[in-house]
Chains A and B, each alone.
Chain A
Amino acid sequence: MKPPATTHNEFLSRYADVRRGLWAYLLTITRDPTEADDLLQEVSTILWSRFDQWEGRGPFRNWCMVVARNVALQWIARQDRRRKLFSDKMVELLAEDPPAMTPTVQQQRLDALKQCVSELDEHPRQVIAMKYLQGMRAKDIARTLGRSLGSVEMALLRARRRLRACVNRRLGEGEPR
């Protein structure tokens, strides 16, 4: 049954709270931001079409994670078997884990990250933006910038580490243990 129009806003509101977590889970499985985008589209499609079936039974996030898990498993089944991915069992296990952050903590972290991004040097910021905003693979970034794949991969790792350290510092959590 198609959900009534009055549930549209309610769905969007609930979905906004879990969207990042779903994308993060799908990124973990695919290891590709663009693939994660595509799968999230598929997940959101299913969630919306079946929203009337949820009916408030159990946490909304758990229901979403079940759908995301199934979509992820279907995606794995379609992949080239030569590519090493997590096993189906691990995909299921990861879907059952509790959320890593509440929406409030996410917002605090996002605010800190905005500051930390502005503190990054030009080059690492460009590389990380090409990866996460443009959805480019490291090899495409390397080709575009005329640099080696190894140097781009290293730049990505360093930028991630610096951002992590910066966020922890700003939030008073100290360096990662």
Chain B
Amino acid sequence: MNEQHRMLILRVLEDQASPAEISRLEQLLAEQPELRAELSVQALDAALIRDALAEWGDSSMRAAPAVEAEPPHPRSWRRPAMAAACVLSVLLLGAWLAFGPGSSAPEPAYEPWTLHVRSALPGARLSRGGQILDLTVGLELRGGDELLSGQQPVTIGVGAQNTHITLGPDSRVDLATQEPELQLNLQSGSVLIDAQTQQPGRSISVRTPTMTMRVVGTRFAVSAGANETVLDVVEGQVRVQPRDDSAGSLLVRQGQRAVADRQGRTTVITFNPLPGLIVNGGFESGDLQGWQQTHHDTGLSLSTEAFAGRFAARMNGFVAKAGIEQLFVTEPGKLYRMQAHVRILRQAGHDWGSFRMLVSDFSTWDTLSETTVTAAELGPNWRPIEATFRAVDTRTRVTLRQFSGDNMQMDVLVDNIGIASGE
């Protein structure tokens, strides 16, 4: 086998070849069956590399290898399972089984959808058959239920599939559970879907008046307002079908935002990292340089249990409430996305509250964006959280801390805080 030919094949597969090189390869392939065999092997290797990376990434998470620098997206290989080919293809097949023409009859192989309330506070309500019920922890939900979250988030667990649905404050969602599809009709407010390990043949979709989103093994947030629907993909990717479907469906990837206006016209925004704008976002200085403390310092420390690099910040509410904040330079009117990685070590108590990343205006303290998470939503591992906002001043503040009543404690690690620009 000619090494030049092998490299030519690789360049074509990697989409790096010129039109002339592609023509040249096609000519060679037509003449030489052994070159077609080599092409086939190299393409299959790409599939195997994907699977190997996914499986290796899972084991590496357990081993937690150290990373000296702060790569912009270290999670791209640390938590790849949601994108693993083996999982993905089954999910994709499952998506069809749910939405395809032959799916009208239920598959007896599927377990029925079982949904239970994992966390809720007084004020959350359920409308079922004309009756209004309180949403309480452990309550089983059914198709046809209409959920009203009230002033605090509500978390729902889906079966044993490691899937969580979190309704944001003041959100209204109608549930439809027609096998094998679980459909959430978001009437207003916001919903966060964390669906990494769907059973083959199952599907979850979120519908708003202007957009339909299908889970492709992912974590994403949707908010529906009177004038627009906003989709933020935190992990994985989401297949979107705008109401204005003249352009067909589109794939929104990790780190992107899709916005649909009232007519269903949809645009996708890609966020580009702005390295250095957040000072010491990975705490690699070994101290809290660049950060201000919001509370007593006894609950705040550095930990070597880092997401990336050597250090993370630890806010241990079991010792004392703690938090950090930082001012950073912004351009008024510009769209930004703040991201951090969070790991909740422990959570206890029965009060309201969560861990919160708040982005606020420097001078007025007006909230520009906030993201709240609890142990029920995140599980025990490192997970990314993000808050997207439009700056109104030349300086903006980010605050990370436990935000709760006195009878709730959280022990939280935070790392890899960064910001990206959306325009």
Contact = CB atoms under 8 A, between A and B. Distances in A.
Given A133-B83, A135-B253, A153-B16, A20 B47 contact: yes
B37 A100 contact: yes
B299 interface: no
B101 interface: yes
Contact of B43 (A27, A48, A86, A167): A27
B245 to A, nearest CB: 16
A40 B89 contact: yes
Contact of B45 (A118, A138, A163): A163
A20 B50 CA distance: 10
Interface string B266-289: 000010110100000000000000
Contacts of B12: 31
Interface of A: 2-3, 5, 8-9, 12, 15, 19-21, 23-25, 27-28, 31-34, 37-38, 40-41, 44-45, 48-49, 84-87, 89-90, 93-94, 97, 99-101, 106, 109-110, 113-114, 116-118, 122, 125-126, 128-138, 140, 143-146, 153, 156-157, 160-161, 163-164, 167, 176-177
Contacts of A25: 40, 43
B254 interface: yes
Interface residues of B, number: 77
Interface stretch (B21-29, B146-154, B390-398): B21-29
B111 to A, nearest CB: 14
Nearest to A137: B15
B296 interface: no
B175 interface: no
B320 interface: no
Nearest to B55: A114
Nearest to B84: A133
B107 A5 contact: yes
A19 to B, nearest CB: 5
B14 A101 contact: no
Contacts of A24: 40, 43-44, 46-47
A2 B46 contact: no
Contacts, number: 212
Contact of B83 (A87, A109, A135, A143): A135
B222 to A, nearest CB: 21
Interface centre among B93, B102, B109, B201 (most CB of A within 10 A): B93
A159 to B, nearest CB: 9
A12 B88 CA distance: 14
Contact of B53 (A117, A135, A176): A117
Nearest to A99: B40
Contacts of B45: 109, 113, 160, 163-164, 167
- Specify the main secondary structure of chain A where it touches its partner: helix
A84 B19 contact: yes
Interface of B: 1, 3, 6-7, 10-16, 19, 22-23, 26, 29-30, 33, 36-37, 39-57, 60, 67, 71-74, 76-77, 80, 83-86, 88-90, 92-93, 95-97, 100-102, 105, 107-109, 200-201, 237, 251, 253-254, 270, 272-273, 275
Given A37-B88, A138-B16, A157-B16, A12 B200 contact: yes
Contacts of A110: 48, 51-52, 55
Given A100-B37, A135-B237, A145 B72 contact: yes
B273 A144 contact: yes
Contacts of A21: 44, 47
A47 to B, nearest CB: 9
10 contacts: A5-B109, A25-B40, A27-B13, A27-B46, A48-B96, A114-B52, A138-B14, A143-B272, A144-B72, A157-B10
A153 B17 CA distance: 11
A106 B95 contact: no
A167 B41 CA distance: 12
Contacts of B90: 12
A86 to B, nearest CB: 6
Contacts of A176: 1, 3, 6
A76 B308 CA distance: 42
Given A31-B15, A113-B49, A114-B56, A129 B71 contact: no
Nearest to B72: A144
Enumerate the 7 nearest inter-chain pairs by beta-carbon distance, A residue then B residue, closest first.
Answer: A129-B77, A24-B43, A113-B52, A84-B19, A41-B92, A100-B40, A45-B96
A167 B23 CA distance: 30
B14 A160 contact: yes
A5 B108 contact: yes
Given A32-B15, A133-B53, A20 B273 contact: no
Given A86-B26, A126-B76, A164-B42, 10 more contacts: A19-B89, A27-B13, A109-B48, A110-B51, A110-B55, A114-B55, A122-B67, A134-B80, A144-B273, A146-B72
A134 B254 contact: yes
Nearest to B270: A140
